[in-house]
Amino acid sequence: MKFQAQAAVLREPAGKMTIESVDVGEPMENEVLVEIAACGICHTDMVMRDGHLPIPVPVVLGHEGAGHVVAVGSAVTNVKPGDPVIMSFASCGTCPSCVSHDPAYCHEFFPLNFFAKRSDGSTALSAQGQPVHSHIFGQSAFATHAIAPARNVVKAPADLPLNRLAPLGCGIQTGAGAVLNSLNVQAGSSVLVMGAGAVGMAAIMAARIAGAQSIIALDLSQTRLDLSRELGATHALVSDGRPVSELLRAAGLSGVDYAIDTTGVPALLSQALMALNARGVLGLVAAYPPGVNLSAELAYLMSGGRRIQGIVEGSSDPQDFIPKLIAYHRRGLLPFDRLIEFFPFSAINEAIEAGESGRVIKPVVTMT
């Protein structure tokens, strides 16, 4: 059985998306069909759109979907039709990382999330009989309907609006998880967060939850820095071209125990390394295009026991971590809704523009 959905199709790299009628196939035995209520826009969607993370076209992007399960494949047991769900990233479930509940480091992470098709090569979508690539992050949720592996979906509470919960599946989980899971930020420590976008703001809120003593936001935008202070930053530094260590010194800070990069700007990474205290860690969280390198003085790293750590999706197991984030949100500790502005699905290109111009921190398109 095929039915029609509306999807925002990207037909050429760096192009605009066009909302088109597409045919959606049936879920395979381990998949679910979700009617999407809302989908957040993540910077990684733009990196994929522009071909910096190479993906095939035509394709439907979108990887912060939330909605209701409409149908399930014959082997699905974790959800049933009618359940509200938040969609997250795809993982294989059988590699050593997945078996040890670390699916963000799934050995198949890149094929499953970026190849825009199932492992058997098929896509869930077509238009005028031609395949349209699907399964971006196992979801392709810039659409009214998406087919996802059952492992990808996390049951959502019935009493919270799904459109607000959508960004938990990537951006919020990534920033909060970097602090609470990957780096395990300790109470009383100092945390530098470079970039006050959705991921950076989530990291700032999480650093407050962790009890960090100094939480330093660094960004170009004074408006964002003002908001970062409301969300937990103790210091807000305008990135004005001076090296990070100099900015910290001017703010009365000597160094930091943790630095989290959400910007992907190589010069800032080198500077952040030089601002690490002994035993400090630099967490790499941005969507770095392939081929971008970092050089560091080995004696400096070694002698202070300093580390550089790659972080994917906040080292989260979404099945456990998203419910934890919702519990923090209910207690008022993670007010990520303050980052969101909603747009109708038909205005997806305006929503993207609002995100890229920096006017909106987390645009979310709503389908229902």
Question: Between 143 and 253, whose beta carbon lies closer to Zn ion?
Answer: 143
Task: Choose the contact partner of 140 out of ligand CXF, Zn ion, none; CB within 5 to 8 A by kind.
Answer: none
> Interface with Zn ion includes 205 (CB under 5 A)?
no
Question: Between 25 and 93, whose beta carbon lies closer to ligand CXF?
Answer: 93
Question: Between 188 and 310, whose beta carbon lies closer to ligand CXF?
Answer: 310
> Interface with Zn ion includes 214 (CB under 5 A)?
no
Task: Choose the contact partner of 261 out of Zn ion, ligand CXF, none; CB within 5 to 8 A by kind.
Answer: none
> Interface with Zn ion includes 32 (CB under 5 A)?
no
> Interface with Zn ion includes 168 (CB under 5 A)?
no
CB of 170 to ligand CXF, least distance (A): 5
Residue of 263, 246, 255 whose CA lies nearest to 279: 255
CB 143 within 8 A of CB 62: yes
Q: What number of chain residues touch Zn ion (CB under 5 A)?
A: 3
CB 21 within 8 A of CB 6: yes
Question: Between 84 and 171, whose beta carbon lies closer to Zn ion?
Answer: 171
DSSP state at residue 180: I
Task: Choose the contact partner of 312 out of ligand CXF, Zn ion, none; CB within 5 to 8 A by kind.
Answer: ligand CXF
Question: Between 31 and 313, whose beta carbon lies closer to ligand CXF?
Answer: 313
Identify the residue among 10, 17, 42, 112 touching Zn ion (CB under 5 A): 42
Which of left, alpha, beta for 145 (phi over 0: left; psi -120 to 50: alpha)? beta
What residue ranges in the chain does DSSP mark as E strands? 3-10, 17-24, 31-40, 59-60, 65-72, 84-87, 125-127, 130-132, 145-149, 153-155, 190-194, 214-219, 235-238, 256-261, 276-284, 307-310, 340-344, 362-366
Cβ burial of 337 (10 Å; 0-12, 13-18, 19+) is middle
Question: Between 42 and 201, whose beta carbon lies closer to Zn ion?
Answer: 42
Identify the residue among 44, 163, 173, 366 touching Zn ion (CB under 5 A): 44
Binding site for ligand CXF (CB under 6 A): 42, 44, 170, 174, 287, 312-313
CA distance 63 to 76: 21
> What are the structure tokens assigned to 306, written together?
């300093």
CB 20 within 8 A of CB 127: yes
Task: Choose the contact partner of 91 out of Zn ion, ligand CXF, none; CB within 5 to 8 A by kind.
Answer: none
Residue closest to ligand CXF (Cβ): 44
User: What is the Rg, in whole angstroms, of the alpha carbon atoms belonging to the chain?
Assistant: 20
Question: Between 7 and 42, whose beta carbon lies closer to ligand CXF?
Answer: 42
Residue closest to Zn ion (Cβ): 42
Positions that interact with Zn ion (CB under 5 A)? 42, 44, 170
